[in-house]
């Protein structure tokens, strides 16, 4: 039996000798490569934190000491060391989550996988420990250097520094990357810390020089003090943290368990806020990841463990179409600029960045700043395109509302992975955007259904210069084009079915990618003698008057969307129909207002009766009533 199998809790880990701890690290790396290659998941980040996580659990006592992982995608090693070694169904329904999960273990605290939040969580827990008199407990927050580009992290640091009695250890896992190389002033600061010799060495030289010239008098000490003050910010940029009142330890080799343990023990003994700066290598120990400059191994699907190549090649997808079209728009429109929040490649802006490097801005993990800086760019004569995952726009709602919409700024938000994403769990399903954005005055929102409508929507969005515009699309591959057979004032009609002698006319409204489902429902209803019209409006906000009018021409309306049913686009159509005095019933089909556990998209669709057979049965039941 290997060492890993003998570790059922952190107590087992603390009984290992240093040599055994190193052996365990090698076993864990092999386990991660073999397991994650079968299921998919965040491979690179976890390979980089093996020794760090072992050191944390050997020095601190979880769960009495609280471990908080920022974003949580680097928590696989933590799971292994806390008794969760069945990775067979990682990120699949009824298997382990790809992030910390309170349902799995008392060692897990923060489930939200949005970045830059860990320090605020840690600050709150540490404050509570002080109030409750729990002076023997520590809080350990682990965050990547990329998370320090987020504004919340600095709000937390400002507050942490005000509590010198809080037993709080901030571990900065510095690998120079988030999804891509970390950018901005913080990245430069950490670069300096990695490569600059400590100023204590320079001071030692100064002291030796003074001593050789005789007993130092007051003037000599004054000179030495001036030397120290003058060089501190040059060769000891850790002073930025210490000036805030946070003790700094590091940089520490994050792949040396002994060095990590010594640094963490010193931090634990200090009795106040300490920042431990740990240098790690993302993808450590796995040659394909170490040699990959594009960071493909941050998150992987199923891969061949020997080569790192995908088991199944990726199909042509929505992101690829956006990437192609935004470059074409960039050539035609020199005023169009692109903004990303540390995700240039994942959201499809890498080709734009290559074509127009001076018009591409990576702001780090700072969606709020992205939105408001875009408003400033719009004021100054540009048209910014802000590309984000849909779930991350939640973080910038106030900026969309008060900085962009209130000021009638022409800013386009492109939301990748909108709707059901599945295996990343509750915090990554992009299901909130339409219900959230429908209350923003003047906002235009498009939900294209295929490649032609996505390209057209992008072109129209960048032409809107007096209000925010949003284009949303799902994760994954793109289906075949769904051509319209008719268009009524901008509302596309995809199908009309009249079996003959039908007594009820049903309007099926497919929002975005759910247009395919609407067509399938139409076929099923036609087989039961129900006449149907399938509409697929690309632009759903503001609500098209033509869609309201079309609703009044039918006896029953069914809206199908991959966002919230409550407060979503279907609900808005029902409100508009009622305001127009229409007696047509509007039945909304969408997701519940609930957090959805990790599962495949198909499983989530089935569980929430969003598949065509379930919708058709529900419609027939409603008509019968």
Report pLDDT digits (tens) over 326-351. Answer: 999 999 999 999 999 988 999 999 99
Question: For the residues 252-257, what does the mean pLDDT come to?
Answer: 92
Q: What average pLDDT does the structure give for the chain?
A: 87
The pLDDT, as a whole number, for residue 535 is: 98
- The pLDDT of residue 375 is above 80: yes
Question: For the residues 33-62, what does the mean pLDDT come to?
Answer: 90
Question: For the residues 369-379, what does the mean pLDDT come to?
Answer: 96
- The pLDDT of residue 360 is above 80: yes
Angle at 225 between CA 239 and CA 158, to 5 degrees: 20
Structure tokens at 307: 């080569």
Could you report the per-residue pLDDT of 463-517, keeping only the tens digit for each? 999 999 999 999 988 889 999 999 999 899 999 998 877 678 999 999 999 999 9
- The pLDDT of residue 38 is above 90: no
The pLDDT, as a whole number, for residue 291 is: 67
Q: Pick the residue with more confidence: 43 or 259?
A: 259
Who's near 321: CB < 8 A, 6+ residues apart?
A: 451, 454, 455, 478
Cα 481 from Cα 493, distance rounded (Å): 14
Q: Pick the residue with more confidence: 303 or 148?
A: 148
- The pLDDT of residue 66 is above 80: yes
The pLDDT, as a whole number, for residue 235 is: 46
Q: Pick the residue with more confidence: 304 or 151?
A: 151
* Least trusted range by pLDDT, from 192-201, 296-305, 540-549: 192-201
Question: For the residues 201-206, what does the mean pLDDT come to?
Answer: 47
Binding residues: 73, 113-115, 145-147, 175, 286, 367
Going by their DSSP bridges, the two strands 486-488 and 491-497 should be labelled as antiparallel
Cα 391 from Cα 99, distance rounded (Å): 16
Q: How confident is the model at residue 320 (pLDDT cuts 50, 70, 90)?
A: very high
The pLDDT, as a whole number, for residue 564 is: 95
- The pLDDT of residue 428 is above 70: yes
- The pLDDT of residue 11 is above 60: yes
- The pLDDT of residue 225 is above 80: no
Question: For the residues 199-227, what does the mean pLDDT come to?
Answer: 49
Full set of structural domains in the chain with CATH: 4-194+238-290 (3.40.50.970), 197-236 (no CATH), 318-472 (3.40.50.970), 486-624 (3.40.50.920)
* Least trusted range by pLDDT, from 147-156, 527-536, 543-552: 147-156
Active-site annotation, residues: 282, 367, 395
Q: Pick the residue with more confidence: 427 or 434?
A: 434
The pLDDT, as a whole number, for residue 313 is: 61
Could you report the per-residue pLDDT of 82-134, keeping only the tens digit for each? 999 898 888 888 888 888 888 899 999 988 767 888 899 999 999 999 999 99
Environment class of 191 (CB within 10 Å of its CB; exposed 0-12, middle 13-18, buried 19+): middle
Binding residues for Mg(2+): 145, 175
The pLDDT, as a whole number, for residue 337 is: 98
- The pLDDT of residue 293 is above 70: no
* Least trusted range by pLDDT, from 121-135, 194-208, 396-410: 194-208
The pLDDT, as a whole number, for residue 180 is: 52
Question: For the residues 163-191, what does the mean pLDDT come to?
Answer: 70
Q: Pick the residue with more confidence: 252 or 182?
A: 252
Binding residues for thiamine diphosphate: 73, 113-115, 146-147, 175, 286, 367
Query: Is 282 within 8 Å of 45 (Cβ atoms)?
Result: yes
The pLDDT, as a whole number, for residue 339 is: 97
Helix, strand, coil distribution of the chain in percent, nearest 5: 45, 20, 40
DSSP string of 520-576, one letter each residue: HHHHHHHTTT-EEEEEEESEEESPPHHHHHHHHTSSEEEEEEEEESTTSHHHHHHHH
Q: What is the DSSP letter of 476?
A: S
Q: How confident is the model at residue 534 (pLDDT cuts 50, 70, 90)?
A: very high
Q: How confident is the model at residue 181 (pLDDT cuts 50, 70, 90)?
A: low
- Please name the residue ranges forming H helices in 115-217: 118-131, 151-160, 185-195, 199-212
- The pLDDT of residue 226 is above 90: no
Residue 182, classed as helix, strand or coil, is: coil
Angle at 15 between CA 11 and CA 16, to 5 degrees: 125
User: Which element (helix H / strand E) includes 390?
Assistant: helix 390-393
Q: How confident is the model at residue 221 (pLDDT cuts 50, 70, 90)?
A: very low
The pLDDT, as a whole number, for residue 232 is: 46
pLDDT above 70: percentage of residues in the chain = 86
- The pLDDT of residue 569 is above 50: yes
């Amino acid at each position: 039996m290997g060492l890993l199998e003998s570790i059922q809790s952190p107590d087992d880990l603390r009984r290992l000798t240093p040599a055994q701890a190193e052996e365990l690290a090698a076993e864990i790396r092999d386990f991660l490569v073999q397991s994650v290659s079968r299921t998919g998941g965040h491979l690179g980040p976890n390979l980089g934190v093996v020794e760090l996580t072992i050191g944390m659990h050997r020095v601190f006592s979880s769960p009495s000491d609280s471990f908080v992982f920022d974003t949580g995608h680097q928590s696989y090693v933590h799971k292994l060391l806390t008794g969760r070694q069945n990775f067979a169904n990682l990120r699949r329904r009824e298997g382990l989550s790809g992030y910390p999960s309170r349902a799995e273990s008392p060692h897990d605290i923060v489930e939200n996988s949005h970045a830059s939040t860990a320090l605020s969580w840690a600050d709150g827990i540490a404050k509570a420990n002080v109030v409750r008199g729990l002076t023997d407990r520590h809080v350990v927050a682990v965050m990547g250097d990329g998370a320090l580009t987020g504004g919340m992290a600095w709000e937390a640091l400002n507050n942490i520094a005000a509590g010198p009695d809080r037993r709080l250890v901030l571990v900065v896992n510095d690998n120079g990357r988030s999804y891509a190389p970390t950018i901005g002033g913080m990245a430069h600061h950490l670069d300096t810390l990695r490569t600059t010799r400590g100023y204590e060495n320079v001071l030692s030289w100064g002291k030796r020089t003074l001593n050789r010239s005789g007993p130092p008098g007051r003037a000599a000490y004054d000179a030495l003090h001036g030397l120290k003050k003058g060089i501190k910010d040059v060769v000891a940029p850790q002073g930025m943290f210490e000036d805030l009142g946070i003790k700094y330890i590091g940089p520490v080799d994050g792949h040396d368990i002994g060095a990590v343990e010594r640094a963490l023990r010193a931090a634990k003994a200090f009795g106040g806020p300490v920042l431990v700066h740990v240098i790690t290598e993302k993808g450590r120990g796995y040659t394909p990841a170490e040699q990959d400059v594009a960071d493909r191994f941050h998150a992987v699907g199923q891969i061949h463990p020997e080569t790192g190549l995908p088991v199944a090649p990726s199909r042509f997808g929505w992101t690829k179409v956006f990437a192609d079209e935004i470059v074409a728009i960039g050539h035609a429109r020199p005023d169009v600029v692109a903004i990303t929040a540390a995700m240039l490649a994942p959201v499809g802006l890498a080709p734009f960045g290559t074509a127009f490097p001076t018009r591409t801005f990576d702001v780090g993990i700072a969606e709020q700043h992205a939105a408001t800086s875009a408003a400033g760019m719009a004021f100054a004569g540009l048209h910014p395109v802000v590309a984000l995952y849909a779930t991350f726009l939640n973080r910038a709602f106030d900026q969309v509302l008060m900085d962009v919409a209130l000021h009638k700024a022409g800013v386009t938000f492109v939301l990748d992975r909108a709707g059901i994403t599945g295996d990343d769990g509750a915090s990554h399903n992009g299901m909130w955007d339409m219900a959230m954005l429908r209350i923003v005055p003047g906002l235009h929102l498009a939900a294209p259904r295929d490649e032609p409508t996505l390209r057209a929507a992008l072109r129209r969005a960048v032409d809107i210069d007096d209000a925010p515009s949003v284009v949303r699309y799902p994760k994954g591959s793109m289906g075949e084009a769904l051509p319209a057979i008719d268009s009524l004032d901008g509302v596309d009609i995809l199908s009309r079915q009249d079996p003959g002698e039908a007594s009820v006319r049903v309007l099926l409204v497919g929002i975005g990618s759910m247009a395919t489902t609407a067509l399938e429902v139409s076929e099923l209803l036609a087989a039961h003698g129900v006449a149907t019209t399938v509409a697929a409006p690309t632009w759903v906000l503001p609500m098209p008057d033509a869609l309201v009018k079309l609703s009044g021409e039918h006896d029953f309306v069914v809206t199908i969307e991959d966002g919230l049913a409550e407060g979503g686009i279907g609900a808005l159509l029902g409100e508009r129909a009622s305001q127009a005095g229409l007696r047509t019933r509007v039945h909304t089909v969408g997701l519940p207002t609930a957090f959805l556990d990790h599962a495949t998209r198909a499983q989530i669709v089935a569980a929430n009766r969003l598949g065509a057979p379930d919708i058709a049965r529900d419609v027939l039941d409603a008509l019968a009533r």
